[in-house]
Structure 1
């Protein structure tokens, strides 16, 4: 955003669209997300991507929300199972 809150993308890529239109602003934000060129293998980028997933899932509704919630539950369940397996292996190793 530049002075006055106007996105510079409306001067370059989105010429002719109304910069005050909420749908055009959402499309400009979408283009910014799609053209982001940050490395995806750093901790910061991973946390940013998780935050972006959380934001998009809260905006979603209906079936998309349920799919996002299911993905999150499966991920958390996988972490719990893996942690439990590590704890069991450690206890077995210590008991030997």
Structure 2
């Protein structure tokens, strides 16, 4: 980032973007690494606007609906087994 103003918010955001792009660690195979990936997704979704933000909202909604369905079905099997 030679020649750029270090106090410029756009230059700082671009530097942070480059850091995220270059980050490749084996810790992505751990729970902490997966949660960091979710954090990165949430931060980028919050910065997005228009169609990209809508796509992120739809994706998160579908994941939550799918997770709720699976939990409901698992509870139904557990409760029917013990009744």
What does the per-residue CA deviation read over 1:29-83, in whole Å, with 9 as the maximum and x for residues that have no partner? Answer: 1110011122211111111111111111111111111100001100100110000
Number of residue equivalences: 82
Larger radius of gyration: 1
More divergent stretch after superposition (36-45 vs 60-69):
36-45
The answer as to 2:77 corresponding to 1:89 is yes
After the TM superposition, list the runs of 4 or more consecutive aligned residues in structure 1 that deviate by more than 6 angstroms.
Answer: none
The answer as to 2:30 corresponding to 1:42 is yes
Q: CA RMSD in A?
A: 1.4
Report 1:8-19 matches (<5 A).
14-19=1-6
State the TM-score, normalizing by the size of structure 1: 0.76
Deviation of 1:88 after TM superposition, in Å, equals 1.1
More divergent stretch after superposition (19-28 vs 46-55):
19-28
2:46 maps to which residue? 58
State the TM-score, normalizing by the size of structure 2: 0.86
Q: Secondary structure at the match of 2:29?
A: coil
2:14 maps to which residue? 27
Q: Hey, what's the Cα distance between the residues in 2 that align with 1:30 and 1:61?
A: 17
Q: Hey, what's the Cα distance between the residues in 2 that align with 1:27 and 1:77?
A: 34
The answer for unaligned runs of 5 or more in structure 2 is none
